[in-house]
Chain A
Amino acid sequence: MIAQEEELKALMVRSLAGDGAAYAGLLRKLQTHLRAYYLRRLGRAADAEDLLQETLIAMHTRRATYDPTRPFTAWVHAIARYKLIDYFRRTRRRAEEPLDDPDLLFGSEEANAAEAHLDVERLLHTLPAKTQKLIRDVKIEGLSTAEAAAKHGLSESAVKVGVHRGLKSLAGQIGDDT
């Protein structure tokens, strides 16, 4: 959380000075958090996306109200929360859960999807190179068994066996961790 605050704040300070690249990077990072934040509270992906875009625009037009001597994540959270309450008010739906925990925006599991992706990568690297490639092609890229077999010059059954063994080994490692 603290590392995140520092990273985002540094990007924001550069953005306020007019650095467009830093700003684009900042907004891309924020959109992951904000999408998860709204999705969890609204349920409907289309509404969450609308609110996310509205929030990004609001942050943009009022970015000069950020005071760099204060925490940046708190500023973002206040805007996100304000826009959520405003949405509930517009749609006359009552907010049923406590809305004021800043950790909910920056500590969420959905927002850590990127980290989960890294975990998968790390696990995959423990497998033999050939098995790794097979699992990547079949389970992540979505090739059919026949396509993967053709690509790697193997029989279809060899592909199936390879993938099956690889997954079993991965499952075993996850089991060891817990």
Chain B
Amino acid sequence: MKTDDLISALSADLEPAPKHKVVLRLLTGLGIGIVLSSTLMMTWLGPRPDMMPAMATPMFWMKLIYALSIAAFGFGLVDRLARPGGQGGVWRTLLFLPLAFMIAMALYRYVQAPPERHMAMLLGNSWTVCARNIALLSLPIFAALFWALRDLAPTQLTAAGATAGILAGAVGTFIYAFHCTESAAPFVAIWYTLGMAAMGVLGAILGRFLLRW
């Protein structure tokens, strides 16, 4: 086909482009992922039995805020990276702000606590399964986000994949926090973060292959 013919074909019967397509598409993927992942959490793990008293403790909310803030900044960054030439800019820095805050809080709690409490603060009762459970709960969100990104136009595939992975990990962590009974900041700073980071690494690796267009 000649290029002039192609141009005529593309411009004939041109439909107005949908507005806010990138955000809507990402939200759709995220929504599908959240439904799948929440269902998985409720059927496989179930909510923590002490939900009511736990909601009265600050750490219950800290865990949710930690996951939610990373998810929010991750979403902002993915929205940028899903467009050709999109630069992370300030979002890239923001993404690490909750982590820095969590590490500072974990260190403070750790040094304040008596030494005999240290191991419990680091390992809790569930360190062997925490990061793995977060990763498993994040997988449906990860898949749905990648599905959404394939219809968009990321040009830095590794960065876009990594950010989508972190976003999926953060939302998966948010959902997992309704099951997990751990309440030590050092535990959260290590194992929650590890679960999210694992999803980020997975996204970075798969992005180059799965996000091509």
Report A's interface with B, CB cutoff 8 A.
15-21, 23-24, 27-28, 31, 35, 49, 52-53, 56-58, 60, 62-67, 70, 74-79, 81-82, 86
Cβ–Cβ contact B21 & A52, under 8 A? no
18 more CB-based (< 8 A) A-B contacts, given A23-B11, A27-B11, A31-B7: A15-B17, A16-B17, A19-B14, A23-B14, A24-B11, A49-B3, A56-B10, A62-B84, A65-B21, A65-B82, A65-B153, A67-B22, A67-B83, A74-B85, A75-B85, A78-B84, A79-B153, A86-B212
Main secondary structure of the interface of B (DSSP, over half): loop
Give 20 pairs: A residue, B residue, CB < 8 Å, sorted on A: A16-B17, A20-B11, A20-B12, A24-B8, A27-B10, A52-B3, A53-B6, A56-B7, A56-B10, A58-B213, A60-B10, A62-B84, A62-B152, A65-B22, A65-B83, A74-B85, A79-B84, A79-B155, A82-B84, A82-B155
Cβ–Cβ contact B152 & A65, under 8 A? yes
> In the docked arrangement, what's the CA distance between A18 and B15, Å?
5
User: Please, which residues of chain B bring their CB within 8 A of the CB of A56?
Assistant: 3, 6-7, 10
User: Please, which residues of chain A bring their CB within 8 A of the CB of B213?
Assistant: 58, 62
From 3 to 31 in chain B, residues with beta carbon under 8 angstroms from any chain A beta carbon are: 3-4, 6-8, 10-19, 21-22
Closest to B7 in A: A27
Smallest beta-carbon distance A75→chain B, Å: 5
> In the docked arrangement, what's the CA distance between A56 and B11, Å?
11
Count of residues in B whose CB is under 8 Å from the partner chain: 28
> In the docked arrangement, what's the CA distance between A123 and B16, Å?
44
Cβ–Cβ contact B84 & A57, under 8 A? no
Whether A18 contacts B14 in the complex (CB less than 8 A), given A62-B152, A79-B153, A79-B155, comes out as yes
Closest to A21 in B: B11
User: Please, which residues of chain B bring their CB within 8 A of the CB of A24?
Assistant: 7-8, 11
Cβ–Cβ contact B16 & A18, under 8 A? yes
User: Please, which residues of chain B bring their CB within 8 A of the CB of A76?
Assistant: 84
Report B's interface with A, CB cutoff 8 A.
1, 3-4, 6-8, 10-19, 21-22, 82-86, 152-153, 155, 212-213
Closest to A89 in B: B212
User: Please, which residues of chain A bring their CB within 8 A of the CB of B17?
Assistant: 15-16, 18, 63-64
Cβ–Cβ contact B3 & A31, under 8 A? yes
Interchain residue pairs A-B with the least CB separation, the first 10: A78-B85, A18-B16, A64-B21, A78-B84, A24-B11, A20-B14, A62-B153, A64-B17, A82-B155, A23-B11
